[in-house]
Amino acid sequence: MANESMFVSAFIYLVAAVVSVPVAKRLGLSSVLGYLVAGMLIGPFALRLVGEEGQAVMHFSEFGVVMMLFLIGLELRPSMLWRMRLPIIGLGGSQVVLTTLAVTGGALAIGLGWQMALAVGLILALSSTAIVMQSLQEKGLGGTEAGRSAFSVLLFQDIAVIPILAALPLLATLPAAGGGGHDGGGNVLSDWLSHQPGWMNTLMVLGAVVGIIFAGRFVLQPLLALVAGTRVREAFVALALVLVIGIALLMNSLGVSAALGTFLAGVVLADSPYRHELESDIEPFKGILLGVFFISVGASIDFSLVAGNPWLVAGIVAGLFVAKALVLFVLGSFAGQGLDQRLIFSLYLAQGGEFGFVLLGMALSGGVLDERTCQVLVASVALSMALTPLVMLAEEKLVRPRFGTRVAGEREADEMAEDAPVILAGVGRFGNFVARMLRSQGVEVTVIDNDSEHIEFLRRLGIKAFYGDANRHDLLEAAGAAKASVLICTLGGEEQVARLISTARKHFPQLKIMVRAVSRNHEYELVEEGLDFVIHQNAGSAIQMAEAALRELGWRAHRASRAAKTFARHDHAATRALAGDHRDETTYIKRVRQSLSELEELFEQDAKRRERESATPWDAIQLRKDSAAGYPDAGGAKDGD
Amino acid sequence: MERTLIVFCHPALEKSRTNRALIEGVADLDGVTVSDLYERYPDFLIDVKREQDQLVEHERIVWQFPLFWYSTPSLMKEWMDVVFQYGWAYGRGGNALAGKRVKAVVTTGADAGSYTAEGFNGHTVRDLLLPLERSARMCGMEFAEPLVFYDALKLDGGGLARAVADYRKWLKEGD
């Protein structure tokens, strides 16, 4: 069977992913590091389960990055993108220019010609969108100042790939090696293009970008509506994949970054009603491909080359980290970031990136770099990516505690630990309300959040605020968890919530734990855990909204208010009753139906009773009837009517 | 022993001394169920079914509350409005409460002398509770002589202990 080898390697890669990620998580490390180490282990220099095809797999799974950018685009409405234009161009542009200059300078210093040096500078200026975005998300830093800045820079880099790709051939000093580009070549269109003048190329690129924007509006949306209308889920999934793959192919044949193309398509579709559908369909493919991509990066590190030139490679990797981090650190301070945010921003983005591999492939085939330089750089970039999770870990455990905002001083820490009875983990929009309400009643609240800008702000308001990961037992301790009575968790990620609960239960068993659930299923899980209080994040405001709507429809306020309260009470009880079953789908669905019909029944009963006599205690229909019929008791108690 | 349901009604128990001492002093008695209305229904949305079921399970009902404007705190009135439904508590087919005995246990700020025809308030507490009495009778219940603790703002130490002892004694031995 011809496919057998493909199945074998798919099997190996997936097993590596399945084994490595839980182990990494157990050890408190990021999943990216798990994937990378798994790749090194199965690679040609350890277990030899995968060989040269590692490169091919890497090129294939780079597609995960393309999908990731599509998803990022989906999250980003055009208006939001427009609002971010300053940081993208300012931060991102300066980063690329300054880093290129720094690296080029270094390359010149070790004796490369200026063309080669400039090419190396351009290639190494790019960071790894895959690793950085994945890690930011995993550590819950996506919404912080550093996270947003990092995203801006990465976005600019992804855009910058286009002009860099276009400029590389101009730097050629060697005879073109021909072929070998990762796009595979051989495409009629790209063949034709390669014989066109540069301006034609640029025109085609612009045309493609404009084309995607127009097609997104006028072709894709109606097409999505059409396919969604068939209600065949796999057809929609297939269309989603066709969309992403098609755009990637088109962009590749134009010699443009496929990631940029799909990103644009994502942005165009961010306003469409099918956004969530697309997201949930592409997400699993992206996840697996990115994992395989990380594994293949690990597997592709040529350790024999590294062993042959240890100092050269170490020097390049170290130099790269230092140069990039310095540039970013300076830019961060211009952007007005606090020290911690600057540390995260500069250290997270200091590696080489996956687009580096693409560009290196181009540079080799285009005769810009010689083969040995290329190989050394590929190994260095891969190593720098593999080291990034370790750098992040070091930043979190060693650098930030020493230089960061966290606890401003011992004295202050003591003061803080004093007597606040409530610890609030996470002060986003939800947590803010909780803190304000409690403080309005004179109840002290100690806040823990991992957005240092936010923390500084709260401190200026005189609120006891700690900066850091609320899951850390020492930080909870410092925040006074041993003496507090209540821990309120409004953290975002379900995983983070779960970690906080287990830490708190283990070390501070006296704490009442109250949790904000982010979804229905999350709520069931938390209720099942037997927590002291669980509330769905939208329960309160949604029911209030419905109550207000009833009033707009002319209901008397008291009737609307009672209906809302009754509903809330039933909903609360139903959640508790359903909690035990939510894992077992068949009973779950049955119970949901039952609960729905219960609710229906409740309201039907209300309606019936209203007709009959006293669904609400003030209805006097039966009373009136009986009174008219001359029943002696009918007057008296509720005489008013 | 008769089962007794104390329907307890105080909107700010955290500020009260006498009512707190009284309710804490009797909660442990056998056959006594305390239903703390303001604690259970802070939103005034009374669970009618639950309250009716609870009433059915007890032979003796106590309404314990501080006297506010010569009457009950507002939630107590709401409770009566919604729980004593037509066709259940009174009217055609309404006999769920018939035969039960009900007693008001009331604290007042003023002293006993003021609650007389000649006194400052011009009426006895029993007279002022006429609406409760009529309501009880309407539902076929017997309305026992109220147990009144006068001068509750000044009760302390021995006086408070005596009040609790009187309350317990009545609950155990009846009238």
- Together in a domain, A24 and A95: yes
- Together in a domain, A373 and A520: no
Looking at residue A632, what is its pLDDT?
A: 54
Looking at residue A121, what is its pLDDT?
A: 92
Looking at residue A613, what is its pLDDT?
A: 38
Residue B9 has pLDDT above 50, yes or no: yes
Looking at residue A343, what is its pLDDT?
A: 87
Looking at residue A475, what is its pLDDT?
A: 80
- More confident site: A477 or B137: B137
Most confident of A14-18, A469-473, A606-610, B48-52: B48-52
**Distance spanning both ends of chain B, measured CA to CA:** 14
Chain A neighbors of B94, CB-CB under 8 A: 633
Core vs surface per residue A344-380: b (16+ CB within 10 A) or e: bbbbbbbbbbbbbbbbbbbbbbbbbbeeebbbbbbbb
Interface contact B92-A617, CB threshold 8 A: no
Residue A189 has pLDDT above 80, yes or no: no
**Distance spanning both ends of chain A, measured CA to CA:** 86
- More confident site: B140 or A531: B140
- Together in a domain, A519 and A582: yes
- Number of domains, chain A: 2
Q: Is the ipTM of this complex over 0.85?
A: no
Q: Taking CA atoms, what residue in A is nearest to B49?
A: A615
Least confident stretch, A177-191, A323-337, A475-489, B65-79: A177-191
Looking at residue A427, what is its pLDDT?
A: 85
Where would I find the H helices in A195-274? 198-215, 221-229, 233-253, 258-269
Q: Which residues face A514 on adjacent strands?
A: A488, A533
Which domain covers residue A50, as residue numbers?
Answer: 2-403
Are A575 and A524 spatial neighbours (Cβ–Cβ below 8 Å)? yes
Interface contact B92-A562, CB threshold 8 A: no
Are A162 and A59 spatial neighbours (Cβ–Cβ below 8 Å)? no
What gap in Å lies between CA A43 and CA B120, rounded to an integer? 98
Mean pLDDT of chain A: 79
- Together in a domain, A387 and A431: no
**What average pLDDT does the segment B78-99 reach?**
92
CATH of the domain at A523: 3.40.50.720
At residue B36, φ and ψ (nearest 5 deg) are -90, 95
Least confident stretch, A179-188, A383-392, A457-466: A179-188
- More confident site: A275 or A391: A391
- Together in a domain, A389 and A427: no
Interface contact B86-A562, CB threshold 8 A: no
- Together in a domain, A457 and A563: yes
Quote the minimal CA–CA distance from A563 to chain B in Å: 10
Residue A160 has pLDDT above 80, yes or no: yes
Least confident stretch, A194-198, A212-216, A290-294, A637-641: A637-641
Q: Residue A410 domain-assigned?
A: no
Looking at residue A518, what is its pLDDT?
A: 85
- More confident site: A30 or A83: A83
B→A interface, C-beta within 8 Å: 43, 45, 48, 81-82, 84-87, 89-92, 94, 135, 138
- Together in a domain, A398 and A442: no
At residue B75, φ and ψ (nearest 5 deg) are -65, -30
Q: Residue A344 domain-assigned?
A: yes
Are B57 and B3 spatial neighbours (Cβ–Cβ below 8 Å)? yes
Least confident stretch, A44-58, A292-306, A519-533, B87-101: A44-58
- Together in a domain, A316 and A427: no
Name the residue among B43, B82, B90 with its Cβ closest to that of A633: B90
**What average pLDDT does the segment A276-282 reach?**
80
The pLDDT tens digits of the residues spanning B26-70 come to 999 999 999 999 999 999 999 898 999 999 999 999 999 999 999
- More confident site: A525 or A317: A317
- Together in a domain, A51 and A170: yes
* DSSP character at residue A92: I
Last residue of a domain, one of A376, A403, A430: A403
Residue A479 has pLDDT above 90, yes or no: no
Q: Residue A205 domain-assigned?
A: yes
Last residue of a domain, one of A403, A431, A452: A403
Reported as a pLDDT band with limits 50, 70 and 90, residue A524 is confident
Looking at residue A580, what is its pLDDT?
A: 65
The pLDDT tens digits of the residues spanning A440-449 come to 888 889 888 8
Looking at residue A588, what is its pLDDT?
A: 58
Most B CBs within 10 Å: which of A559, A616, A622, A625, as the mutation test of the B interface?
A622
Last residue of a domain, one of A403, A438, A462: A403
Q: Which amino acid is at A74?
A: L
Name the residue among B45, B82, B138 with its Cβ closest to that of A637: B138
Reported as a pLDDT band with limits 50, 70 and 90, residue A369 is confident
Other Cβ atoms within 10 Å of A246 Cβ, number: 14
Residue A138 has pLDDT above 80, yes or no: no
Q: Determine the angle formed by the axes of helices A585-612 and A557-579, rounding to 10 degrees.
A: 150
- A484: CB partners within 8 A, 6+ apart: A420, A421, A422, A423, A446, A508, A511
Residue A615 has pLDDT above 60, yes or no: no
- Together in a domain, A430 and A384: no
Quote the minimal CA–CA distance from A553 to chain B in Å: 22
Looking at residue A598, what is its pLDDT?
A: 55
Looking at residue A408, what is its pLDDT?
A: 41
- Together in a domain, A449 and A562: yes
**What average pLDDT does the segment B126-136 reach?**
95
**What average pLDDT does the segment A186-194 reach?**
54
Name the residue among A562, A566, A622 with its Cβ closest to that of B86: A622
Interface contact B84-A633, CB threshold 8 A: no
What gap in Å lies between CA A505 and CA A470, rounded to an integer? 13
Looking at residue A486, what is its pLDDT?
A: 94
Report, in this order, helix, strand and coil percent for chain A, each rounded to 5.
Answer: 70, 5, 25
- More confident site: A601 or A65: A65
Looking at residue B23, what is its pLDDT?
A: 94
Are A26 and A13 spatial neighbours (Cβ–Cβ below 8 Å)? no
Looking at residue B111, what is its pLDDT?
A: 92
Residue A601 has pLDDT above 70, yes or no: no
What gap in Å lies between CA A55 and CA A182, rounded to an integer? 10
- More confident site: B160 or A569: B160
Q: Residue A415 domain-assigned?
A: no
**What average pLDDT does the segment A462-470 reach?**
79
**What average pLDDT does the segment A382-392 reach?**
87
CATH of the domain at A132: 1.20.1530.20
Q: Residue A411 domain-assigned?
A: no
Quote the minimal CA–CA distance from B25 to chain A in Å: 28
Other Cβ atoms within 10 Å of A614 Cβ, number: 20
Reported as a pLDDT band with limits 50, 70 and 90, residue A593 is low
- More confident site: A218 or A143: A218
Are A118 and A104 spatial neighbours (Cβ–Cβ below 8 Å)? yes
- More confident site: A183 or A153: A153
Quote the minimal CA–CA distance from B90 to chain A in Å: 7
- A317: CB partners within 8 A, 6+ apart: A380, A383, A384, A387
Among candidates A279, A284, A265, which has minimal Cα distance to A214? Answer: A265
Interface contact B45-A631, CB threshold 8 A: no
Chain A neighbors of B91, CB-CB under 8 A: 623, 626, 631, 633-634, 637
**What average pLDDT does the segment A579-595 reach?**
60
Looking at residue A177, what is its pLDDT?
A: 56
Q: Residue A635 domain-assigned?
A: no
Quote the minimal CA–CA distance from B50 to chain A in Å: 14
A→B interface, C-beta within 8 Å: 562, 565-566, 569, 613-614, 617-618, 622-623, 626, 631, 633-634, 636-638
Q: Residue A343 domain-assigned?
A: yes
Chain B neighbors of A623, CB-CB under 8 A: 86, 91
Chain B neighbors of A617, CB-CB under 8 A: 48, 81-82, 85
Interface contact A613-B48, CB threshold 8 A: no
Helix (H, G, I), strand (E, B) or coil at B16: coil
Most confident of A88-97, A195-204, A603-612: A88-97
Looking at residue A28, what is its pLDDT?
A: 67
Residue A114 vs residues A120, A249, A324: alpha-carbon distances, Å: 10, 33, 20
Most confident of A137-146, A302-311, A628-637, B158-167: B158-167
Residue A626 has pLDDT above 50, yes or no: yes
Quote the minimal CA–CA distance from B77 to chain A in Å: 12
Q: Taking CA atoms, what residue in A is nearest to B139?
A: A637
Quote the minimal CA–CA distance from B59 to chain A in Å: 22
Q: Residue A636 domain-assigned?
A: no
- Together in a domain, A392 and A448: no
Most B CBs within 10 Å: which of A570, A614, A641, as the mutation test of the B interface?
A614
Reported as a pLDDT band with limits 50, 70 and 90, residue A184 is very low
Chain B neighbors of A613, CB-CB under 8 A: 85-87
